[in-house]
Every structure is written in C-alpha cells, then in structure tokens.
Structure 1
Amino acid sequence: MRWLVTGAGGLLGHEVTAALAAEGADAVGLDRRALDVTDPDALAAAFTRHRPGLVVNCAAYTAVEAAEDEEERALLVNGDGPRHLAALCARHGTRLLHLSTDYVFPGDADTPYSEDHPTDPRNAYGRSKRAGERAVLELLPDRGAVVRTAWLHGRHGPNFVRTMTGRARGEGPVDVVADQVGQPTWAADVARLLLALGRTPGARGVFHATNAGRATWYELAREVFRLVGADPGRVRPVSGAAFGGRAPRPPYTVLGHARWQEAGIPPPRPWREALGEALREATGERGAGGSGVPGAPPVPPGQPLQDGDQFGG
C-alpha cells in the first residue's frame, strides 16, 4: 500500500514521512509547494500519478490569530481542502486520515472531551477545522478517520517547547499563560499513532492523538526549564488576557482516548514521559545543563507566551 502525506513540510508532516521512511514503507510526502490541497485539479493529478492507498492529510492553515481576519482563507484550506481530498478518496477507494485540532471544542468542560462530544468552536480557526472534520466524516463514513491533536512540539519548525528551551538559555523572568489547560503532545508520538491507525483495517471515525495527562502552558514551560537544567522559578504565571490576542482560546481542551483501545491500539503515553524523551533526543542525550534544542526561535523578552501562529495548531 502506498501512503501519500500532504503538508509534509510541516512539523507533523515531517514526523509522519520520517516514520514511514524508517519503516521502509512505500510513501510519498508532498509539501505545500508540491501540492496545494485547495486546488482540485492538482489533487486529481497527484492521485493519478501516485495512486495512494491511504492519504494522511497534514496540510492545514494554522495561523490562529490571522484566521480571525482571514476566515475565508482558513476555510479554503481547512474545510474545502479536506472535502476535495475526501471526494477523491471516495472515488478511488482510498482511506483518509485527516488531522484536526482540540480547538473544535469550546473549552467549557472540566473532564476530558470524548471523541463523540459535540463540537462548538470559539474562534475562526476552530470553525474552519470543524468544517474539514464534517466533510471527511460525511463523504468517507467507512474509510475516513479524523485525528485530533493539540499543543504539538517536535524537532521541525517553531513550537512552544523549542521556544522555551531557547528562553531557558537566557536570563531573567519568562511570563507564560497559566489559565489554559490542555495536553502537550510530541509530534513523533502522533506519527506513530497515525501509522498504527493506517495499518488497522476498518479503523474509522474520530480519534484523539494527544499525550495523556493535562497541563497549563505555565506548567509545561516549568517542566521544560527543569529538564534542560534551568531554574523553573524564572517562569512566571500570567493570564491569557495578557497575551492580547484577538482569537478567543478555549480554556480547557483535555481530550479522552477511549477510541484507541476500541481499535486495539495502545493509547498515548503521558506527556511528561514523551517530553523527556523528546528533549533527550533533541539535545543529543546531553541531559541536565545541556543547551536545549538548537535553533529555538527567539521571542522578545517580556512577551507572554501561549499557543499561537508560531506554535502550530
């Protein structure tokens, strides 16, 4: 079976294509320049050329703040793109694993959201991702799966954990949002789950691919500082209002993982365990006192930190 990975140039797309290559799978990864998921003709040509048996759609518009002003553009990529893909998959008998987000939920819960909990996004980005979910589930009821993830970190591209390792090497306090609760998630773990899902016959519906447990951005930042040998006391809690963003963030988006067990796939591991392995890998096993992740993007001192355009979605 040939795998086709769209959005292969992004944080998660990199990990999925790397995992497939490591296993010697027959796979093709196409980044945004090679395949625009909003172009039906380009998609049709890609299907004719590569003849995939399974598509992993990692292509997405993830600019949470910008989506408030560009909702039509976000819907084009996150809603129409998956619809075009699902229609082609239905025509060719191809399976589709479509990546979505915790932001489809409003954040008004105090226990983990189940896979079948009603969605009600608070911002334009979440609405655009919900549109893509609906398209996949409607057009591919037997061969489509929606895989929601959140708070991604990894080796490729800017993300919150890389930013924190960069700040840990500096001096002075770091203000981080402390009133949003979610699940820090290692992209490499999501890639492994996607491969397992793709190799499970009949797996369909909605799955939650986040590391287990819960944390605030503040708690995550403190754990990163601790693991790289910096003083966690430098991290200071602030409210989300201090961030000053226009897009409302859901305050609680912890996701449940029951569907993995139903599919016979081991559920995701705890986020602290995954984060520790991610940082050991990124620092070449240098351990405490290491220099953190090379190339972590700079953030102006004094700027409160949370998710956002540069941290994925």
Structure 2
Amino acid sequence: MPKILVTGANGQLGSELRELSRSYTHTYFFTDKEELDITDEEAIRSYVKQNAIDTIVNCAAYTAVDKAQSDEALADAINHQAVQYLATIAKESHCKLVHISTDYVFDGENYRPYVEDDATNPQSVYGQTKLLGEKALLHVRLPHSVIIRTSWVYSRYGANFVKTMLRLGKEKESLGVIFDQVGTPTYARDLAKAILDMLPHIDNAQTQIYHYSNEGVCSWYDFAKEIMKSAKLTCKVVPIETVSYPTPAKRPHYSLLNKSKIKQAYALEIPHWQESLHACLRHMGEER
C-alpha cells in the first residue's frame, strides 16, 4: 500500500486532500510546519526514511503574495529551497513527487490560455520564488514527478476570496471588485481529487508540468457577483480597475491556463468554475 506524505496539510489543498483521502486505500502522513519543517533538509530525509514514504505531495507554500515582497528570504526558503530538498530526497528514496505551483510564474500579458511550455516571466517575489522551485525540481531530473500550476484557489478552509466576499457581502451595502484581471477560479477540492486520481498513474521518465484550474473564464468582479448571487446576498458589486486598488505585488492581468495536457494524460473531467463554486457554497452551508 502506498505511503503518501502530504506537506502543507493544514492549507486549503492539504485540508481537502485530508478529507478526500478517506475514500482512497493508501496510508497518509499529513504534516504541516509543526510536524515537519520542509526548510530543514535532514528533517525531511529522516521523516521519509523512518516512515518508508514512497510518494510526496508538496502542498506547502509561502502564499502571502504582497507580504512576500518584503519577506523574500522566507518565501525563497519555502517556495524554492524546500522544493530542492524534497526533490533531492525523493530521488534518493525513489519517491514519486507532486509539486503545486502557480499561474504567477507568467507575466499575465498573454492573449490565449497559457500552455505548459510558454515563456515564464514572474512579476512578483512570490512568482519568482515559485518559478525557482519549479526549476530546482526540473534540475534534479526526478522521474515519476509532476508540477501542477494552478490559479485562484479557494475552499471552505483557510483564507480565500470566496470567504472574504461572503464576509464583506454580509457587512457592506456595496463593494468594489477588480474587473480587469481575468482567469479561472480553482476549487481546491477538485484539484485534490484530481491529484488522488492521478497518483497511481504517474509513471513519467522525467518531470512533467501540467496546468489545472476549473473550466471557464471570469474576472474577479464576475466571480464576486456569482458568489453574492448564489449566497442571496444583497451587497452591490461595483467593477473597479486594478489601478484603483494598488498592491505591493503586481498581479497578472491574464491568468487563463490551458488544461488540455493534463486532461489527455490522465483522462480528467474538470468541472466549470460556476458548478464548483456552487458545490463549495453548499458544502459551507452558504448557498441559499
């Protein structure tokens, strides 16, 4: 029976993996920074060896996009150096490795959905450190490993856009939301299920990069409107431009990811973002 180590297990994706794992016949080791410090190479090596781990799913990441601009050392330690450690130890121990990355490795200037081999050009410290993590994994030349880039992740766990909109929608009469950044939301539960379904079939000779988000396209404004509508909240959502809401880190204006490669390789059926949003809200008891 496979022994699967999940890092970042208290985050959105890790929490969904923990919940869904009950339906899969594997042995799981769910760790967060309290149980396993992935910035400590020897701690990882010891944990993998002692527990005879044969698969690692790295959900751990420094995801505070704006804070990363002034906290580059820690962001690099988690998003880059730790990935190098995990990849090196996975190779030593003949482990499979699934690593989660981001649309922020691109500059957001594209005119069509990004494919896996499009040129990267991150515009923030977060994006830069995540790209360095990808490159570190690729450099190790680890077989049976995949990088999954995703975007706009939300769930009923942790802090995310959906939960923020629900809170503000109950507190405010109107709310300005950016309309000139487009992409696709990703329900963490859908991505978690895709990973669990993929694991037995990962058998590539070298690291493969895949893109995964829900289907469809929207702006943050469209997303917020659908959240309010589904939750029967009367808060008026007003479209605003990015320039009206300056942030320390630059966000991509265009984050659409082409998912043809992962769908073909693993025969995945990916739900539309509206369908998944409604499923999440029902799970949260917020859809009315």
Instruction: Give the TM-score taking structure 2 as reference length.
Output: 0.95
Residue number in structure 2 paired with 1:164: 165
Q: Which moved more, 1:15-24 or 1:3-12?
A: 15-24
Asked if the contact 1:137/1:145 (under 8 Å) is kept, the reply is: no
Asked if the contact 1:107/1:253 (under 8 Å) is kept, the reply is: yes
Residue number in structure 2 paired with 1:71: 72
Q: Which moved more, 1:29-38 or 1:136-145?
A: 136-145
SS in 2 for 1:3: strand
Correspondent of 1:251 among 248, 253, 267? 253
Residue number in structure 2 paired with 1:294: none
Partners of 2:228 and 2:202 lie apart in 1 by 42
Asked if the contact 1:154/1:278 (under 8 Å) is kept, the reply is: yes
Residue number in structure 1 paired with 2:17: 16
Residue number in structure 2 paired with 1:308: none
Residue number in structure 1 paired with 2:213: 210
Asked if the contact 2:145/2:202 (under 8 Å) is kept, the reply is: no
Correspondent of 1:260 among 259, 262, 271? 262
Q: Give the percent of matched residue pairs that are identical in Structure 1 and Structure 2.
A: 33
Cα-to-partner distance string for 1:42-64 (whole Å, 9 max, x where unaligned) = 11111112121110001111111
Question: 1:109: Cα distance to partner?
Answer: 0.6
Question: 1:5: Cα distance to partner?
Answer: 0.1
> Any unmatched runs of 5+ in structure 2?
none
Asked if the contact 2:198/2:266 (under 8 Å) is kept, the reply is: no
Question: 1:141: Cα distance to partner?
Answer: 4.1
Asked if the contact 1:210/1:255 (under 8 Å) is kept, the reply is: yes
Question: 1:281: Cα distance to partner?
Answer: 1.4
Residue number in structure 1 paired with 2:281: 279
Correspondent of 1:237 among 236, 239, 263? 239
Correspondent of 2:229 among 211, 220, 226? 226
SS in 1 for 2:6: strand
Q: In the alignment, residue 260 of structure 2 is paired with which amino acid?
A: A
Question: 1:31: Cα distance to partner?
Answer: 0.8
Shift >6 Å, 4+ stretches: none
Asked if the contact 2:173/2:234 (under 8 Å) is kept, the reply is: no
Asked if the contact 1:196/1:265 (under 8 Å) is kept, the reply is: no
SS in 1 for 2:238: strand
Cα-to-partner distance string for 1:53-99 (whole Å, 9 max, x where unaligned) = 11000111111111111222211110000000000000111010000
Question: 1:41: Cα distance to partner?
Answer: 1.3
Residue number in structure 2 paired with 1:104: 105
C-alpha RMSD of matched pairs (Å): 1.4
Partners of 1:117 and 1:16 lie apart in 2 by 29
Asked if the contact 1:146/1:207 (under 8 Å) is kept, the reply is: yes
SS in 2 for 1:169: helix
Partners of 2:121 and 2:164 lie apart in 1 by 30
Aligned length: 285
Cα-to-partner distance string for 1:168-220 (whole Å, 9 max, x where unaligned) = 22341111111111111100001011112212141550111210111111110
Question: 1:243: Cα distance to partner?
Answer: 2.2
Partners of 1:15 and 1:41 lie apart in 2 by 28
Cα-to-partner distance string for 1:99-157 (whole Å, 9 max, x where unaligned) = 00000001011210001212111111000000111111221342211011111111111
Residue number in structure 2 paired with 1:7: 8
Partners of 1:141 and 1:118 lie apart in 2 by 22
Asked if the contact 1:190/1:209 (under 8 Å) is kept, the reply is: yes
Partners of 1:287 and 1:66 lie apart in 2 by 32
Question: 1:230: Cα distance to partner?
Answer: 1.9
Partners of 1:143 and 1:171 lie apart in 2 by 49
Partners of 2:123 and 2:269 lie apart in 1 by 28
SS in 1 for 2:116: coil
Q: In the alignment, residue 225 of structure 1 is paired with which amino acid?
A: M
Asked if the contact 1:114/1:255 (under 8 Å) is kept, the reply is: yes
Residue number in structure 2 paired with 1:53: 54
Question: 1:24: Cα distance to partner?
Answer: 4.0
Q: In the alignment, residue 96 of structure 2 is paired with which amino acid?
A: R
Cα-to-partner distance string for 1:282-313 (whole Å, 9 max, x where unaligned) = 11xx742xxxxxxxxxxxxxxxxxxxxxxxxx
Partners of 2:97 and 2:202 lie apart in 1 by 12
Partners of 1:100 and 1:264 lie apart in 2 by 18
